[in-house]
Chain A
């Protein structure tokens, strides 16, 4: 592996997607989220006493058009039983490296089984019985003002202490 490079190693999706869609004739670049102020809360109890909640961008519905533009469907946030996700979720309409990898193994993008193993070992207090799904929407406003508060409400109902967000 080269130990000197002229560019950063990790992919800049902001740069790549702007150039890629620009080359397809879309003149207006996507406006990515940028925040100066970032919220933070120090952990107040050990993980062994915490209930963990998982958030995904995958959905159950397999009727979404796999060629649809991300954010163009009318998805709504949802809460569902972890048991119901064990057969896998649908995400072919989302943006990910479909030529390189696959999402046939749930735990590679929604680690329900791995967290249950850690629960049985006492590493975490518990995994919430429900997990939570959030649409990848073009509207920052909708994500911030509508979807995020709804997910928070469900997490409070389920007495979740810490949230693990796993966007695809």
Chain B
């Protein structure tokens, strides 16, 4: 079974059991240092392991990242809009140039 926060990727791939927590990527088994929440998520995983009866079972835990809404962290993540389109295109060019330079020095990807 999978514990994770990238719901679309996991469900598209198709897994027997999935415990989904609607968090930014990085802490699929609970907020850092929140022992109670981590215990709850891990316990949900074990219950799902025991009780699921068919594949593609998804259980969503009740936790939210922010107290009053669970949206603030989503908006900025991998944002693409008119405010940064130019900067993104430039970043892509810079990266390709850096990779080309690294390859020329023999340090590129295989």
Contacts and interface: CB of A to CB of B under 8 A. Distances in A.
Given A16-B77, A34-B13, A72-B109, A1 B33 contact: no
29 contacts: A10-B22, A11-B7, A13-B9, A19-B80, A20-B78, A21-B92, A23-B88, A32-B12, A38-B15, A38-B16, A43-B49, A47-B46, A96-B25, A97-B26, A100-B24, A108-B27, A108-B29, A108-B32, A111-B38, A111-B41, A114-B35, A118-B46, A123-B43, A124-B46, A162-B1, A165-B1, A166-B2, A166-B29, A168-B25
B95 interface: yes
Interface of A: 1, 9-17, 19-21, 23-26, 32-43, 46-47, 50, 52, 69, 72, 74, 95-105, 107-111, 114-115, 117-118, 123-124, 162-168
A90 to B, nearest CB: 13
A14 B11 CA distance: 11
Contacts of A52: 46
Interface residues of B, number: 64
B49 A23 contact: no
Contact of A42 (B9, B42, B53, B91): B53
Given A36-B14, A108-B27, A165-B1, 14 more contacts: A1-B69, A10-B22, A13-B6, A23-B85, A32-B9, A37-B14, A41-B16, A43-B52, A47-B50, A96-B25, A100-B73, A105-B32, A162-B49, A164-B45
